């Protein structure tokens, strides 16, 4: 027999109006929402009753959850993923967390309420707690760009450690022994790995090699402020490695304001080969990550989960990067 509102009432003790308010998106206390969600999951209510006769057909919708709309990387992934899903007949519901973990959790709740069949996400909360609700509803999730510490699921990432290492190797090959790194929060998987790879390679070249790490927010403004503060002060850095696209642009803005020319005064090694990178003169040396390939593989992983029989285990696909050599790094003695 299919579950009803009265079955939820029996388990929770709440009135039918309160339960109805929950399903209609009303404002309830967190404890009340949690109790109803637990009862709904125990009763498998979403499948048997909430679907209201849709049991035999799919919603054909997928949730795409990204940290912010201000990031060119995130919106590029969004564009590629959305295109691939539409080609396969799926609609795409896009949410952004605005770099806030609570908003990210609320977005997952929203996508579950919309009965999406799967979720593709660039996660903000590195623990994976935000995806537990999706797991409870057996909604498959695929990660792009980042791994989680306490949540195992399919993922498509690049070798961020090697990307940082490759940048360091290149600067070292040009004679640089003092470098700064402008990085986003090191608690974010990508930032931590890129910095660790760079730091590990620099430290392996002996005591003469020094490294200054500058941690800031993910934005052009963050890169600008961090680089401005650092290069205003007396320092020995002959090069700077920027760990994402926005930080690269912000750093270049700061150098321009300070009247520092690259590569004459300081060499610049950036990240991501986006449109603006092509018009900056001199041309930038950057690490390029395969965004279109990442998007395609993530969408294909999710579609396999949705359209195939039950697949055991989870898959992590690790992609390589390539270096685009420009003229922004000088060779020094």
Could you report the per-residue pLDDT of 157-174, keeping only the tens digit for each? 999 999 999 999 999 999
Interior/surface letters 55-90, b for 16+ CB within 10 angstroms, e for the rest: eeeeeebbbbbbbbeebbbbebbbebbbebbeeeeb
Q: Could you tell me which of 167, 241, 161 has the C-alpha nearest to residue 196? A: 161
Q: Could you tell me which of 309, 133, 126, 73 has the C-alpha nearest to residue 141? A: 133
Could you report the per-residue pLDDT of 75-115, keeping only the tens digit for each? 999 999 999 998 888 999 999 998 899 999 999 999 998 88
Task: Considering only residues 277 and 74, tell me which one the structure prediction assigns the higher pLDDT.
Answer: 74
Q: What is the CATH number of domain 54-158+294-319?
A: 3.40.50.2300
CATH 3.40.50.2300 residue ranges for the chain: 54-158+294-319, 160-289
Evaluate if residue 193 carries a pLDDT over 60.
yes
> What pLDDT, on a 0 to 100 scale, did the predictor assign at position 58?
66
For 160-289, the fitting CATH number among 3.40.50.2300, 3.40.1010.20, 3.40.50.300, 1.10.40.30 is: 3.40.50.2300
**Mean pLDDT for the stretch of residues 130-146:** 91
DSSP 284: P
Confidence of residue 211 (pLDDT cuts 50, 70, 90): low
Express the helix, strand and coil content of the chain in percent, nearest 5 each.
Answer: 45, 15, 40
Return the SS3 of 181.
Answer: strand
Contact between residue 283 and residue 270 where contact means Cβ atoms under 8 Å apart? no
> What pLDDT, on a 0 to 100 scale, did the predictor assign at position 169?
95
Could you report the per-residue pLDDT of 280-298, keeping only the tens digit for each? 888 999 999 999 999 999 9
The pTM of the whole model exceeds 0.95: no
**Mean pLDDT for the stretch of residues 323-328:** 93
Which of the listed ranges 83-87, 137-141, 327-331 does the model predict with the highest average pLDDT?
Answer: 327-331
Confidence of residue 57 (pLDDT cuts 50, 70, 90): very low
């Amino acid at each position: 027999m299919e579950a009803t509102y009265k079955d939820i009432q029996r388990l929770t003790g709440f009135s039918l109006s309160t339960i109805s308010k929950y399903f209609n998106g009303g404002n309830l206390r967190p404890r009340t929402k949690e109790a109803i969600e637990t009862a709904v999951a125990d009763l498998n209510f979403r499948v048997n009753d909430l679907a209201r006769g849709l049991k035999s057909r799919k919603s054909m919708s997928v949730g795409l959850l990204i940290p912010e709309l201000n990031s060119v990387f995130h919106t590029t992934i969004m564009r590629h993923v959305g295109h691939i899903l539409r080609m396969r007949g799926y609609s795409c519901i896009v949410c952004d967390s605005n770099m806030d973990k609570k908003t990210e959790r609320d977005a997952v709740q929203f996508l579950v309420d919309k009965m999406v069949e799967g979720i593709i996400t660039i996660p903000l909360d590195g623990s994976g707690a935000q995806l537990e609700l999706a797991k409870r509803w057996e909604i498959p999730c695929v990660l792009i760009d980042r791994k989680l510490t306490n949540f195992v699921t399919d993922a498509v990432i690049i070798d961020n450690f090697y990307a940082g290492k490759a940048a360091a190797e290149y600067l070292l090959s040009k004679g640089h022994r003092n470098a700064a790194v402008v990085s986003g929060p090191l608690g974010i998987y990508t930032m931590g790995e890129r910095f660790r790879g760079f730091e590990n390679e620099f430290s392996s070249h002996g005591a003469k090699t020094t490294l200054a790490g500058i941690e800031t927010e993910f934005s052009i403004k963050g890169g600008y402020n961090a680089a401005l503060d650092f290069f205003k002060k007396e320092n020995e850095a002959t090069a700077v490695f920027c760990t994402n696209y926005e930080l690269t642009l912000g750093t270049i803005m700061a150098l321009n304001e300070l009247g520092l020319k690259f590569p004459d005064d300081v060499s610049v090694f950036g990240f991501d080969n986006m449109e603006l990178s092509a018009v900056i003169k001199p041309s930038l040396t950057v690490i390029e990550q395969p965004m279109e390939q990442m998007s395609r593989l993530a969408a294909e992983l999710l579609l396999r989960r949705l359209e195939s029989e039950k697949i055991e285990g989870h898959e992590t696909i690790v992609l390589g990067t390539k270096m685009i050599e420009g003229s922004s790094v000088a060779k020094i003695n």
